[in-house]
Structure 1
């Protein structure tokens, strides 16, 4: 069991955050290697396993290193929440050398895996950086990107529900109803399934005192059924990953790919280009990024974003010389429903 102790200062720093596609990518690698834990993931796993045969050997090396049977290099504490895959990879490549080396040295010690060229990445090797970025991009394009608008909508919906409970009824009510595997006994949050063992291999109770740093609650689709606690290298809040609930109907919607009936229906409703724009905006993007990703002019991208915004599907915020677009709850719901 894990017991997380809160102070008053910690309680004031609790947030619910969607970590983004890189965190789900890494966690999906772990789930991919555990075929007995699939349940609602079969429609995702089958095409992913088939498609993985065409990927470069670097992706296999990455999977063995990032998702071993024991131990976990948690990229999400190095990167932090990142709305877009490219943004997260860029942050990873610019992570401070000390924490990067310390984190990347963890997996070989715990799980007995060989770091090889991936270990060179942590020491600033340029060729290794290009290989790692390329492998992450390959796997993301196969396993995450086709489903990300719906995954993001699901995670956003979970986050919104938790924030709403906290706003209406307080932190105690939100933590008490967080997940079936978590028990809130103020001021302690208990995680019964946490894998802590002593030298004799017996289960132990792990006591963690947040000490005023606070806690980020991160809903995740691909994490295992047992929540996991991760502590960033700096003084940022600790991160507790917990699984979102999924049922058969939601799984059927979730794993439809872009060429299936729901996507065709969305294109019929909005038009092909505007439907594509809505899917891209689900990741969060600027007008120029939207134009580049769907292959139209910046002026055309701006017009499509305006129509989607006026329909209540998109919100746009200006920051200096750029305008950034994200989905509203209505837009996320539309993508998740088709």
Structure 2
């Protein structure tokens, strides 16, 4: 178990943040190499494993190095939240040399994974940088990009839910509502099942004191209870990854790839943009979030949401100065059939 100790200053610095596609990419490498529960990941894993075989051998090296059995190389605090894959990779390439070498020394020193050409990246080798960025791009195109719009909708909805609870009922209510993933016993946040980088046995307790730096809670689709906590090299808040809980039926909809038969049929029925809107709303979103995710104006997003609502596929609720949209059972059923 991991126990995170808060001070009053830490409680005032709690945020909920979506880290972005590079974080999910790295966590998915962990899932790719270690099949397990929940079973709905199998519909993502099987085609991804098959697809990786056709990619550059550098991608397999990347998986072993960035997601070894003993934990993860900490890219999250080097890169920070980044909405776009290219932005995150660019930040990684421009990370300060000292912290970069420290983090990239994790796999050889702790997990026993040979550094090879990937280790050269941390020392500024241009050829290694080109190989690393190319491997990240290849894997992203296969495993993350086809599903990212839906994954992002799920993560944004989780973030919005937690932020709304915190704003309305306070930090205690927000953290208490995250059980069973996390247990809040003020002023301590417990992470059950945490093993840490040394894979300590059952019953081992790791205590971490934030000492005023605060905490970023980062929901993740591909994460599980471990690896857990990441501490930045500077004085920025610590980052705690936690898994998003999904209904299995909703989870299966994540893995429909654009162009598949059901996707084309849905677009033929509703129109391409409106079908995309329905898929985004499945994760819950505001009008502005809908506009951003499908690349249209807020006015256009509002119009599409209105048509879907009048058709009985969407229900909308106003909260303060925003309108949040979710699917009705009829809307869910339509997506399930796609």
The corresponding residue for 1:115 is 115
Report deviation, 1:270.
Answer: 6.3
- Specify the SS of the correspondent of 1:77: helix
- 1:11 is aligned to 11
Q: Is the 8 A contact 2:70 2:197 kept in 1?
A: no
Gaps of 5+ in 2: 284-293, 306-322
Q: For each residue in 1:232-265, what CA deviation from the matched residue of structure 2 results, as whole angstroms up to 9, or x when unmatched?
A: 1111110010101122211221111112355325
Partner of 2:62: 62
Q: How much does 1:178 deviate?
A: 1.1
In 2, the alpha carbon distance for the partners of 1:27 and 1:201 equals 22
Q: For 1:196 and 1:63, how far apart are their aligned partners in 2?
A: 19
Query: Which residue in the other structure is 1:291 paired with?
Result: none
Instruction: Indicate conservation of the 8 Å contact 1:11/1:214, yes or no.
Output: yes
1:1-338 equivalence runs, <5 A: 1-196=1-196, 203-226=203-226, 228-265=228-265, 267-268=267-268, 271-272=271-272, 304-305=296-297, 308-309=300-301, 311=303, 330=325, 338=335
Pair 29,199 (structure 1): closer, same or farther in 2 beyond 3 Å: closer
CA distance in 2 between partners of 1:331 and 1:151 (Å)? 15
Alignment check: 8 A CA contact 1:277 1:305 kept: no
Give deviations 1:174-232, integer Å, cap 9, x for gaps.
10111303211100111121115989967532111111110000110101244601101
Pair 229,312 (structure 1): closer, same or farther in 2 beyond 3 Å: farther
CA distance in 2, matches of 1:156, 1:260: 25
Could you report, residue by residue, the CA deviation over 1:256-280 in whole angstroms, capped at 9, with x for unpaired residues?
1112355325533664478779999
Deviates more, 1:239-248 or 1:95-104: 239-248
**Number of equivalenced pairs:** 305
Instruction: Quickly say closer, same or farther: Cα 1:197–1:226, change in 2 above 3 A.
Output: closer
- 1:35 match: secondary structure: coil
TM-score by length of 1: 0.81
Give the superposition deviation at 1:40: 1.4
Kept in 2: contact 1:29–1:63 (CA 8 A): yes
8 Å Cα contact 1:229-1:239 kept in structure 2: yes
> Structure 2 CA distance, aligned partners of 1:102 and 1:87?
22
Q: In the aligned structure 1, how far is the partner of 2:197 from the partner of 2:260?
A: 46
Q: Partner of 1:15: helix, strand, or coil?
A: strand
RMSD: 3.1
Residues in 2 aligned to 1:24 and 1:258: alpha-carbon distance in whole angstroms: 19
Does the 8 Å CA contact 1:3/1:191 hold for their aligned counterparts? Answer: yes
Contact 1:2 1:206 in 2 (8 A): yes
TM-score, normalization by structure 2:
0.81
Q: Is the 8 A contact 1:31 1:37 kept in 2?
A: no
Give the superposition deviation at 1:89: 0.4
Which segments of 5 or more consecutive residues in structure 1 lack a partner in the other structure?
283-293, 295-300, 314-327
Report the secondary structure of 1:37's partner residue.
coil
Cα distance, 1:107 vs structure 2: 1.2
After superposition, give the CA deviation of every residue in 1:112-138 in whole Å (9 maximum; x if it has no partner): 101111011001111111110000000
Kept in 1: contact 2:55–2:138 (CA 8 A) = yes
Partners of 1:31 and 1:224 within 8 A in 2: no
The Cα shift of 1:80 comes to 0.3
**Does the C-alpha gap of structure 1 residues 51 and 243 become closer, same or farther in structure 2, counting only changes over 3 Å?**
same
Q: How far did 1:28 drift?
A: 0.4
- 1:112–1:263 distance in 2 versus 1, CA, 3 Å: same
